[in-house]
Structure 1
Amino acid sequence: MHYISWDEINGLVRLIADEVKQKSIDTIVGISRSGLIPAVMLSHTLGVRNFAVLDIIRTTSDDINAEKTGANYRGILNEQFIKGKNVLLVDDIVGEGMTIRNAKQILKDLDANVVSATLVINQDNLGTTSPEEVVDICGCIVHGWVIFPWEGKEN
């Protein structure tokens, strides 16, 4: 199990921002729920005020190793900031990659040019798939379950 501190989160956000600042990003899209936190942090760091939320859920609870379903798309907020725009899609973690792959397709269907980023990749869940096949920018790679500071679980 990996506990990630706020200091580590700040470092990962800066790392992603450094890679993204060469690109012309119009809108940041956070994947609800936990992707919203790094997405807002990146929005401030990059000075990108257009923000949208993509609501996709896979887990049935917040429990460690909770049961997963298919990527259940539940809606989008601020779609007008996505259509035909250069979009940075952000999530907190990529496991199997289903959520971010589905999110990218939804945005591409809205004619967006998508750059995807995640703070963490859990390579154990991703298996033999390389991170580059799933996401454009990754803060770090771990092997095992991750607990983020915003989850309120003691370390």
Structure 2
Amino acid sequence: MAADPRVGAVLSWGDVEALTGSIAERVWADGAPEAVVGVLRGGMVPATLLAHRLGVRDMRAVEVTRTTADGVGAAKAPEPQYRNPASLGVLAGLDVLVVDDIAGSGATLNRARRLVRALGPSRIRTAAMAVNRDNWSTEPGPEEAVDYIGELYEGWVVFPWERH
């Protein structure tokens, strides 16, 4: 798999544990959230790990997708699509952490943040376990647009749950 020049990293479960541990330490330093929202599908893995590390029992999920298939170099829709925003429930007044596995352009995480913002939380923070700099073409850059980044990569990132 790493022979594909578009692949910047192939992560192991140990890498995932280390990246979520690093993010959890930084989130904890800023105050534990009251709710964690995972972006379906891939974002649920780091969201669950972070919720456990932070002692947060209130977990939610929202389906926001931009890639149209799985696999290296998968095509992307022009804009992130979302379904069932009601799955977020009531977030009014809560400190919320929105988590995705990867941010390419940041559009998916930004759409999820807007969906959460519409529900009136007191605070919204975002986390991405990985950022693919090759896809990030907008300002601000990822370091300013995403509150907590596990690691910056050049190229497609393959996660352990994507390998069959």
Range class of TM-score, shorter chain? over 0.9
Contact 2:105 2:138 in 1 (8 A): no
Contact 1:34 1:91 in 2 (8 A): yes
| Alignment match, 2:3 | none
| Alignment match, 1:125 | 135
How many pairs does the alignment contain? 152
Structure 2 CA distance for aligned equivalents of residues 43 and 58 of structure 1:
24
Which residues of 2 match residues 21-40 of structure 1 at below 5 A?
21-22=28-29, 23-40=31-48
Aligned partner of 1:92 among 91, 95, 101: 101
1:127 deviation in Å? 3.0
Q: Report the secondary structure of 1:126's partner residue.
A: coil
What's the TM-score once normalised by structure 1's chain length?
0.93
Q: Tell me, which stretches of 5 or more residues in structure 2 are unaligned?
A: 1-6
Does 1:114 pair with 2:120? no
Which residues of 2 match residues 45-60 of structure 1 at below 5 A?
45-60=53-68
Q: Report the secondary structure of 2:111's partner residue.
A: helix
Structure 2 CA distance for aligned equivalents of residues 133 and 67 of structure 1:
26
1:83 deviation in Å? 2.3
1:128 deviation in Å? 5.8
Q: Report the secondary structure of 1:119's partner residue.
A: strand
| Alignment match, 1:72 | 81
Q: Tell me, which stretches of 5 or more residues in structure 1 are unaligned?
A: none
Give me the CA root mean square deviation.
1.3
1:73 deviation in Å? 1.1
Identity %: 37
Aligned partner of 1:6 among 13, 25, 35: 13
1:67 deviation in Å? 1.2
Write the letter of the residue equivalent to 2:119. L
- Residue by residue, what CA displacement relative to the aligned partner does 1:103-152 show, whole Å, maximum 9, x if unpaired? 11111111122110010000010036411232111010000011000112
Structure 2 CA distance for aligned equivalents of residues 51 and 63 of structure 1:
27
1:32 deviation in Å? 0.3
Contact 1:100 1:134 in 2 (8 A): no
Contact 1:56 1:75 in 2 (8 A): no
Write the letter of the residue equivalent to 1:124. D
Structure 2 CA distance for aligned equivalents of residues 38 and 27 of structure 1:
14
What's the TM-score once normalised by structure 2's chain length?
0.88
Write the letter of the residue equivalent to 2:84. G
